[in-house]
A and B are shown apart, each in its own frame.
Chain A
Amino acid sequence: MIFSTESARIFEYHAFLVGDAGRLGAFEQAIGHSVKPGQVVLDIGTGTGVLALMACRAGARRVYAVEAGAVAGLARHLVRNLGLEDRIQVLEESSTRVSLAEEVDVIVTDTTANFGLEGGLLGTVIDARDRFLKSTGTIIPRSVELVAAPVEAPRVYADKIDFWGRSHHGLDFSPLRSCAANNLFGADLSPGSLLAEPAALGTVLLTQVAEPVFRGQAEFTLKRSGVLHGIGGWMRCRLTEAITLTNGPVGRQVDYVQVLLPIEEPIPVQAGQRVTASVRSHDGRVWRWQVQIESAPGAPARRFDQSTLRGFPLSPDDVERQTGDFHAPLSARGRAEWAILELIQQGKTIDQIEAELRGRPGTAATPRTAVGLASARQLAGLVRSVVARCT
């Protein structure tokens, strides 16, 4: 992450995270309660290193602070300047790809998202727990509960979904509306938007969960009449036995908003009507939600079955590449990168790699022609990109 204006976005986003006193206060309490002097801690998704630093302050002998994003550079800079390099090791990598020299006493991760699991929490924690956590170890958070309620949210629905059902600038955008309605949207839901008492869809115990799958269901009896726009969702984390954290509309402790799982068509509903919501997800990446609305006098029962798989137009070519039996020849770009990797493997410098590739005859197998590298500048960019990603 160098020579880029991306750093401004990183500072802005992490100021939001570090400035969230409610969330970090709860994590600091949980860390203080769980980390004993001399223990080893793994912080997954360390960001600027804030939880790793807290673990250090609680007495950890060593903290492995893992961060796949470029913000790892900020964590490393902080650790060096605070003189903690002998206790905090920043690893710029996905946690599923790191190896640690020892088992850890505590895994801490603040990668829960608005609806708890969108950040891939389950797969990440299962992998780290099974590879690194001592049998007596602790995970913060211990559990994540997904909570939901039917909501009336006309403003959010108008902005996020119906916006795409209209014409803009005399152009018809309505073919996009159906896709928009199949997304989980961040939504700041007020307590007044709830059409029924919230209920837990399900709870995932991070110490026990075996597969990165969430399945949950809840039934609601509407406490007032209104228009149902979808199911509001949020999380309730149990950081320790005594410390919980929620971004729910009632009693919200963190700066994160909730999510709206929209239904494709707003439905007028009456007090006393029953609504059932069933939610499933694979590792927070693909979500499916089914909403059933019981019939009422003058209103037939309705059922919605939606998923984020329908949330963006899919290309058969792209999906085919994700299937297990896909055979693919290397693309022109792939052949080019392979050639560069071979030269890296031979110990060549960047200048030597560029010089060698420039000198090769123009056949389809060479990077120069394979990716249509019209200039030395394009070749230099490709070589540096491969070096940055693969070395």
Chain B
Amino acid sequence: MSAPLTSDSIVVAADDQASADMEGQVAIVNLRTGACYTLNPVGGEIWRLIDQPRSVGAVCRAIGEQYGLSPQQAEQDVLALLQELVREGLVLVQ
């Protein structure tokens, strides 16, 4: 069980995955398990932001600005997705 994410956590897409843009969405294959995932356009934007190591706070700010969300709403949405991606082994917390 990994520690809960905070806005200071540094996250990055794992190496054991392959991803591709797909008509605004993103498709991801977990190369360890073979499982397949799709992200909607907002999820896809978050995914692109963590191609390089980045703090959760920075991701929240970027998404909030891009989609006109309140800081609380952006943090809630970003954390929910990142926590799921961490659970699935697609995102590493550094």
Chain A residues in the interface with B (C-beta under 8 A): 211-213, 215, 278, 280-283, 285-288, 307-310, 314-316, 319-320, 322-324
Secondary structure at the A interface, as helix, strand, loop or mixed, is mixed
Interface string of B34-61 (1 = CB under 8 A from A): 1111100000000000000000000000
Given A280-B16, A282-B29, also A324-B35 (CB < 8 A) = yes
- Residues on the A chain within 8 Å of B31, using CB: 213, 280-282, 286, 288
- Is the C-beta of B15 less than 8 angstroms from some C-beta in chain A? yes
- Residues on the A chain within 8 Å of B83, using CB: none
Whether A211 contacts B29 by the Cβ 8 Å rule is no
Nearest residue (CB) in A for B16 is: A280
Whether A323 contacts B37 by the Cβ 8 Å rule is yes
B44 smallest CB distance to A (angstroms): 11
- C-alpha gap A320/B21 in the complex (Å): 14
Partner of B27, one of A278, A285, A309: A309
Given A307-B20, A323-B37, also A286-B15 (CB < 8 A) = no
- 9 pairs of residues in contact across A and B, judged by CB atoms under 8 Å: A213-B16, A213-B32, A280-B18, A282-B30, A282-B32, A286-B29, A316-B22, A316-B25, A324-B35
A59 smallest CB distance to B (angstroms): 39
- Residues on the A chain within 8 Å of B35, using CB: 323-324
Whether B38 contacts A323 by the Cβ 8 Å rule is yes
Interface string of B10-26 (1 = CB under 8 A from A): 00000111111111010
Whether B18 contacts A315 by the Cβ 8 Å rule is no
Given A286-B31, A309-B29, also A280-B15 (CB < 8 A) = yes
Whether A323 contacts B16 by the Cβ 8 Å rule is no
- C-alpha gap A283/B30 in the complex (Å): 11
Nearest residue (CB) in A for B36 is: A322
Nearest residue (CB) in A for B27 is: A319
- Residues on the A chain within 8 Å of B18, using CB: 280, 286-288, 307-310
Whether A316 contacts B23 by the Cβ 8 Å rule is yes
Whether A309 contacts B20 by the Cβ 8 Å rule is yes
Partner of B23, one of A213, A280, A282, A315: A315
- C-alpha gap A323/B22 in the complex (Å): 15
B26 smallest CB distance to A (angstroms): 10
- C-alpha gap A330/B34 in the complex (Å): 24
- C-alpha gap A315/B34 in the complex (Å): 18
- Residues on the A chain within 8 Å of B33, using CB: 282
A308 smallest CB distance to B (angstroms): 7
Whether A319 contacts B22 by the Cβ 8 Å rule is yes
Nearest residue (CB) in B for A215 is: B16
- C-alpha gap A282/B16 in the complex (Å): 9
Whether A309 contacts B32 by the Cβ 8 Å rule is no
- C-alpha gap A322/B22 in the complex (Å): 14
- Residues on the B chain within 8 Å of A213, using CB: 16, 31-32
- Residues on the B chain within 8 Å of A286, using CB: 18, 29, 31, 34
- C-alpha gap A323/B26 in the complex (Å): 13
Partner of B22, one of A282, A283, A315: A315
- C-alpha gap A278/B16 in the complex (Å): 11
Nearest residue (CB) in B for A321 is: B36
A311 smallest CB distance to B (angstroms): 9
- C-alpha gap A57/B8 in the complex (Å): 67
- C-alpha gap A281/B15 in the complex (Å): 11
A124 smallest CB distance to B (angstroms): 14
- C-alpha gap A212/B32 in the complex (Å): 8
- C-alpha gap A310/B35 in the complex (Å): 16
Given A211-B32, A286-B31, A288-B31, also A310-B20 (CB < 8 A) = yes
Whether B32 contacts A319 by the Cβ 8 Å rule is no
Whether B37 contacts A314 by the Cβ 8 Å rule is no
Whether A319 contacts B36 by the Cβ 8 Å rule is yes
A373 smallest CB distance to B (angstroms): 32
- Residues on the A chain within 8 Å of B36, using CB: 319, 322-324
- Residues on the A chain within 8 Å of B25, using CB: 316
- Known A-B contacts: A280-B16, A314-B20, A319-B36. Give 6 more (CB < 8 A): A213-B31, A215-B16, A282-B32, A307-B19, A323-B36, A323-B37
- Residues on the A chain within 8 Å of B19, using CB: 307, 309
- Residues on the B chain within 8 Å of A282, using CB: 29-34
- Residues on the B chain within 8 Å of A315, using CB: 22-23
A20 smallest CB distance to B (angstroms): 31
Q: Which 8 A-B pairs have the closest CB atoms?
A: A307-B18, A322-B36, A288-B18, A314-B22, A309-B18, A309-B20, A310-B20, A282-B31
